[in-house]
Amino acid sequence: MNRLNPIFCKTCKEEFTPKSERNIFCSRKCFKKDFYHRKKAEELISIKTFPCFICPSCGNKVQLEFDPVKEGQNWLDFVCPGCNTLMINVSDQISTDDISI
């Protein structure tokens, strides 16, 4: 890339002349704004999606309403809505192939 060729900022879409080949933001402010929005989007996605699994007793696909890794105590009381089986009783039968996000 030629240093004299202007490019457009990824955040504000204004034209600027980069100081190096790696610059895609016109300023530190635009970089921070992009970083903030990316992290917020990742956080919102991770909050809204909890794992699904197939119940080994009834075969129904079950969507969890909590994160079983961070909130393991909720797993002790979780009951399959299809067959009313307490999941702690069958947790050793659930394989990682049955779990999806």
DSSP letter assigned to residue 26: S
Question: What's the longest Cα–Cα distance across the chain?
Answer: 68
Grade residue 95 by pLDDT with cuts at 50, 70 and 90.
very low
> What's the token pair of residue 21?
């080949």
Res 69 pLDDT > 50: yes
Give the C-alpha separation, 51 to 99, whole Å: 6
Q: Where are the domains of the chain?
A: 7-47, 52-93
Predicted TM-score (pTM) of this structure: 0.42
The reported pLDDT for the residue numbered 50 is 75
Question: What is the tens place of the pLDDT at every residue in 1-59?
Answer: 445 578 899 999 999 999 888 899 999 999 999 999 999 888 777 666 777 778 877 88
Mean pLDDT value across residues 86-101: 55
Terminal CA-to-CA distance of the chain, rounded, Å? 41
> What's the token pair of residue 57?
């007793």
Residue 54 phi, psi dihedral angles, 5° rounding: -100, 125
The reported pLDDT for the residue numbered 94 is 55
